[in-house]
Amino acid sequence: MSYQIAIDGPAGAGKSTIARAVAERLRYIYVDTGAMYRAMGLYMEDHGIDLSDREAVEQAASGVNISIEYENGAQQVILNGENVTGRVRTERAGMLASAVSVHPGVRKKLVQLQQELGSRQNVVMDGRDIGTAVLPGAQLKIFLTASVAVRAGRRFLELQEKGQKADLVEIEKDIEQRDYQDSHREASPLTRARDAVLLDSSELTVQEVIDEILKLCAERELL
């Protein structure tokens, strides 16, 4: 039997940083499901497919091959044979992912892939619907959140550190739009699973959040 830890929450709550660190500590694999939706969004844009056209998107998605590989422990996203790990990490790819993820046919395909990954080995998986739809039997579910202002501020600093142009007001607007879109879609919207532990990271450091999750893992004998 494999052990599963599900971490869900809105954009910019720090899920990937935290999930990666927890996975490393537990020697579980880390699965970033957002990267799969981002790859799917990029594919649609590359092929000129209108993201609001459900039929066209679902038909195109059925022929797309997305897979996950690990290189020195780091997740690589492979889109039809091409490694797109670097390409998916842009604000644009995040917006495309949010738009493509509303379509049930896209979700069905990616959820199946995620469930296969979660059944084969011990995983920490992060996303929007991991505790509710992908791994409903996970031994530990976390709903990680933070205020919009805090999330936007963190993203702003991250972009600045990378030397990229950043506009705080613009980032806040994008985060609000993505929150709305992710939590109002019909198919598996972003919601806290009833048995998920709510963690608000607004006033916590990354290390404090990691420590809190490791404490919960120890209580459930996942360490």
Contact mark string toward ligand DC, 133..172, x via CB under 6 A: ----------------------------------------
Question: Interface with ligand DC includes 9 (CB under 6 A)?
Answer: no
Q: Are strands 123-127 and 29-32 parallel, antiparallel or unpaired?
A: parallel
| Residue of 3, 127, 132, 193 interacting with ligand DC (CB under 6 A) | 127
Query: What is the closest distance, in whole angstroms, from the C-beta atom of residue 113 to ligand DC in the complex?
Result: 11
Whole-angstrom distance, CA of residue 168 vs CA of residue 174:
10
**Angle of CA points 69, 88, 13, to nearest 5°:** 100
Binding-site entries for ATP = 9-17
CB neighbour list of residue 31: distance below 8 Å, 6 or more residues apart:
68, 75, 114, 117, 118, 123, 124, 125, 126
* Edge-to-edge order in the sheet of strand 74-79: 66-71, 74-79, 82-83
Contact mark string toward ligand DC, 16..35, x via CB under 6 A: -----------------xx-
Contacts of ligand DC in 95-114 (CB under 6 A)? 97-98, 101
Which residue sits closest to ligand DC, CB atoms considered?
34
Near ligand DC by CB under 6 A, which window of 61-69, 76-84, 123-131, 166-174? 123-131
Binding-site entries = 9-17
Query: What is the closest distance, in whole angstroms, from the C-beta atom of residue 223 to ligand DC in the complex?
Result: 25
Contact between 181 and 98 under an 8 Å Cβ cutoff? The reply is yes
Closest CA relative to residue 98, chosen from 138, 128, 130:
128
Pick between residue 125 and residue 213 the one whose CB is nearest to ligand DC: 125
